[in-house]
């Protein structure tokens, strides 16, 4: 199937603008639902912790509650980061830059976008992400 490439159009069947947009929207909906669930968990933990603190001076569950709370807070932060990534991906899609690697300018493989609709880099650039602390060689 090589004849479609002679036309200068960007619409290549199912992996088009509409598909990307639908994926981003689905991912966003998932992430929002996750954030809501986590925030309920968090409130539950805080409420339970407050009861324990009032109720019991030696607070036997204090440490594990703090751990659990930190864990949920970390998951919430990650979900919020992901929402920002999705916003960026959405803007890129509207500018026609979606699917292009921010690192090397190459094409992000469709399989990667399918798994991670908010990905802004190819796998190789993601590995050498400067935001991630790199071990000195
Ligand atoms: Zn790249």
* Ligand 1 center–CA 88 separation, angstroms: 17
- Residue 66: pLDDT band by 50, 70, 90 thresholds? confident
Q: List, in sequence order, every residue forming a beta bridge with 100; answer none if it has no partner.
A: 107
Q: Residue 118 class from Cβ within 10 Å (0-12 exposed, 13-18 middle, 19+ buried)? A: buried
Q: What residue segments make up the domains of the chain, in order of their start? A: 15-97
pLDDT tens track for 45-62:
888 877 765 555 555 556
User: Is the pLDDT confidence value at 4 over 50?
Assistant: no
- Residue 128: pLDDT band by 50, 70, 90 thresholds? confident
- The average pLDDT across 79-103 equals 94
Neighbours of ion ligand 1 (CB under 5 A): 101, 103-104, 106, 122, 125
């Amino acid at each position: 199937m090589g004849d479609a490439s002679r036309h200068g159009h960007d619409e290549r069947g199912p992996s088009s603008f509409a598909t990307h947009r639908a994926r981003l929207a689905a991912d966003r909906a998932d992430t929002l639902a996750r954030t809501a669930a986590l925030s309920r968990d968090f409130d539950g933990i805080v409420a339970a912790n407050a009861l324990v603190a009032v109720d019991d001076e030696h607070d036997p569950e204090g440490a594990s509650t703090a751990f659990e709370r930190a864990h949920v807070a970390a998951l919430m932060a990650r979900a919020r980061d992901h929402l920002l990534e999705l916003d960026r991906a959405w803007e890129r899609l509207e500018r026609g830059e979606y699917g292009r690697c921010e690192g090397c300018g190459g094409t992000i493989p469709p399989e990667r976008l399918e798994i991670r609709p908010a990905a802004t880099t190819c796998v190789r650039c993601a590995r050498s992400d400067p935001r991630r602390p790199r071990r000195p060689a």
